[in-house]
Structure 1
Amino acid sequence: MSEPSDMEAQLRPLMLKALDGDAFAYRSLLEELRRHLKIYFARRLSPSLAANGDDLVQETLMAIHTRKETYDRSQPFTAWLHAIARYKLIDHFRRSKLRMTLPLEDDAAIFASDDSEAVSARMDVDTVLATIPARPAELIRQTKLEGASVAEAAARAGMSETAAKVAIHRGLKSLAARFGGKSDG
């Protein structure tokens, strides 16, 4: 199976073309999704429930088909896809009154390819940072999230270190006022 970023690079353009009315791209997307979802559910279902995997693939493909217009073109496609698949799996477990258990040594394979939580968190951070001007948002991203020093971020932005510190402080203060946190960081 492809790495998550490779999968995003492969699937997102197909989804965008499909949304624009390209029937061939849509058929290609559904075929790729069918393959991906089959693996996705096989990793999450016990061998005794593996027969349910095909049903879950079909349910997920139907949900994608009926809700495709809700996909936000500016967001990663695989996060949207995995959210739908995860909800279909949860619904299945609820209907079956099952709880998934698995030996601890097998957990790496289950969680290794599902990057939806990280993507979701990144989308949340992007949404929050979009509420302040671009320059302070980028400085905050570089210094607080990516680990750059204030001097490095200031140099990239073409500003003095003092100006960068002020912009970061004001940006954090604005976020704190908007979202109720503290701005002393």
Structure 2
Amino acid sequence: MDSLETRLRALVLLSLDGDRPAYRQLLVELTHYLRIYFGRRLAPSQKAHVEDLVQETLLAVHTKRLTYDVARPFTAWLHAIAQYKLIDHLRRHAIRPTEPLGDDFADGTNPGSLMAAHDLDKVLGTLPERTSTLIRKVKVEGSSIAEAASTQGMSEGAAKLAIHRGLKSLMARFSGDKR
């Protein structure tokens, strides 16, 4: 067991036995941990909601603490609650603007779709041909990884890895993030 699990588990067990200082300390540690947890999972535009999610999760932990099974890891129980709070938040705040597609998109003759196809070709052209082909087949054309892998004479695992590395490379190259 890692030190976080050991520390939090000891605090929650003491607090379930009525130890108020242990419960206060548990809430302090959970607050710090949950800020990091939600901060890593929210988009930069959503960072203002971290504190709300922390408070909602702490409230859920408080109200559901008697349902915690002491025979199981505490952090797993905590993550389940935090994950549900995050999903609820994302559903509540999801903005999905839509515009109807005209008939001219169906045959690819729309100038915007032609430019997007050109841009996609240009971006994928910066990758090795095999990786570019795999990404195009799986992510653009909708082929399964198994189908794309077989056309390239690769195993599914190797194809997944190549796609992952290719997308990661593109994100690093075009994200504008200079970490």
> 1:96: which partner in 2?
93
**How many angstroms apart in 2 are the aligned matches of 1:59 and 1:93?**
14
Q: Which amino acid aligns with 2:2?
A: S
> 2:38: which partner in 1?
41
Three-state SS of the structure 2 residue aligned to 1:16 is helix
Q: Deviations over 1:134-170 (max 9, x none)?
A: xxxxxxxxxxxxxxxxxxxxxxxxxxxxxxxxxxxxx
> 1:81: which partner in 2?
78
Q: Deviations over 1:18-77 (max 9, x none)?
A: 000000000000000000000000000011100000000000000000000000011000
> 2:17: which partner in 1?
20
**How many angstroms apart in 1 are the aligned matches of 2:89 and 2:47?**
12
Deviation, structure 1 residue 98: 5.5
* Coordinate RMSD, CA, aligned: 2.0
Three-state SS of the structure 2 residue aligned to 1:13 is helix
Q: Which runs of 5+ in 1 are unaligned?
A: 107-185
**How many angstroms apart in 2 are the aligned matches of 1:12 and 1:98?**
38
> 1:59: which partner in 2?
56
> 1:50: which partner in 2?
47
Q: Which runs of 5+ in 2 are unaligned?
A: 97-166, 172-179
> 2:151: which partner in 1?
none
**How many angstroms apart in 1 are the aligned matches of 2:21 and 2:49?**
28
Matches within 5 A, 1:103-142: 104=168
Deviation, structure 1 residue 93: 0.5
Q: Which amino acid aligns with 1:79?
A: A
**How many angstroms apart in 1 are the aligned matches of 2:19 and 2:60?**
19
Q: Select the residue among 65, 68, 92 that pairs with 1:68.
A: 65
TM-score under structure 2 normalisation?
0.53
Q: Which amino acid aligns with 1:8?
A: E
Q: Which amino acid aligns with 2:73?
A: P
Count how many residue pairs are aligned between Structure 1 and Structure 2: 100
Q: Which amino acid aligns with 2:64?
A: R
Relative contact order higher in (CA < 8 Å, ≥ 6 apart): 1
Identity among equivalent pairs (%): 58
Q: Which amino acid aligns with 2:68?
A: Y
- Stretches of 4+ aligned residues off by more than 4 angstroms: 103-106
> 1:30: which partner in 2?
27
> 2:175: which partner in 1?
none
Q: Which has the larger radius of gyration?
A: 2
TM-score under structure 1 normalisation?
0.51
**How many angstroms apart in 2 are the aligned matches of 1:62 and 1:33?**
11
Matches within 5 A, 1:164-179: none
